[in-house]
A and B are shown apart, each in its own frame.
Chain A
Amino acid sequence: MPGTDPPGPGRAGGQPPRRGSGELEAAVLQVLWAAGRALNPGEVQAALAARDGAAARLSYSTVVTILSRLHAKKTLKRRRAGRAFSYSPAADEAGLAARRLAAMLDREPDRQAVLSRFVAELSDRDEQLLRSLLDDSGPGAG
Chain B
Amino acid sequence: MTAGRGPADVRLAVYLPLLLPALFAPLAGPLSERLNPRYATWLLTGAAAVLAACSTLALALLLASAVVRIPVVASLGHLSLAVLGPDKTYRIAIGMLAGALLCAAALAATAFVIRRYRALSDAYREARYLPGSEQTVVIDDRSAVAYALPGWPGRVVVTAGMLEALDESGRAALLAHERAHLSGFHYLFTSAARLAAAANPLLRPAARAVEYTVERWADEHAANVVGDRCLVAHAIGRAALAATAHRPRRALPAALGMVFSGARSAAHAAGPIPRRVAALLAPPPPRRLALLAVVLALTLLAGLCALQAANELQDLLSLASTY
Contact = CB atoms under 8 A, between A and B. Distances in A.
Partners in one complex: yes
Interface of A: 1-2, 20, 22-23, 25-26, 30, 93-94, 97-98, 100-102, 104-106, 109-111, 113-127, 129-131, 133-134, 137, 139-142
Given A122-B271, A130-B241, 17 more contacts: A1-B124, A23-B128, A30-B131, A93-B131, A94-B139, A98-B140, A100-B126, A116-B148, A121-B247, A122-B244, A125-B266, A129-B270, A130-B240, A131-B241, A133-B233, A133-B277, A140-B234
Contact of B152 (A1, A114, A120, A140): A1
Contacts of B181: 116
Given A22-B129, A94-B139, A98-B140, A111 B119 contact: yes
B137 interface: yes
Given A101-B145, A130-B274, A140-B230, A116 B187 contact: yes
A22 B128 contact: yes
B281 A133 contact: yes
Contacts of A121: 240, 243-244, 247, 258
Interface stretch (B5-13, B89-97, B249-257, B293-301): B249-257
Nearest to A22: B128
A115 B123 contact: yes
Nearest to B138: A97
B135 interface: no
Contact of A119 (B124, B125, B243): B243
A107 B131 CA distance: 20
Contacts of B125: 22
A2 B178 CA distance: 22
30 contacts: A1-B121, A94-B140, A98-B139, A98-B141, A101-B143, A101-B157, A101-B159, A111-B118, A111-B119, A113-B211, A114-B120, A116-B148, A116-B181, A118-B146, A118-B239, A120-B240, A121-B243, A121-B247, A122-B240, A123-B265, A123-B271, A125-B265, A126-B274, A127-B241, A127-B244, A129-B270, A133-B277, A134-B233, A134-B277, A142-B238
B286 to A, nearest CB: 21
Contact of B128 (A26, A100, A104): A26
Q: Top 3 nearest A-B pairs by Cβ distance?
A: A22-B128, A118-B146, A119-B240
Given A111-B119, A129-B270, A133-B281, A101 B231 contact: no
B281 to A, nearest CB: 5
Interface residues of B, number: 74
B126 A104 contact: yes
B156 to A, nearest CB: 9
Contacts of B244: 121-122, 127
Contact of B147 (A20, A93, A118, A129): A118
Contact of A110 (B119, B187, B271, B277): B119
Contacts of B178: 116, 118
Interface in B145-172: 145-150, 152, 157, 159, 162
Contacts of A20: 128
B266 A123 contact: yes
A26 B262 CA distance: 39
B116 interface: yes
Contacts of A140: 230-231, 234
Contacts of B149: 115
User: Which residue of B258, B265, B271 has the most chain A CB atoms within 10 A of its CB atom?
Assistant: B271
B194 A113 contact: yes
A97 B137 contact: yes
A142 B76 CA distance: 75
Nearest to B165: A142
A106 B251 contact: yes
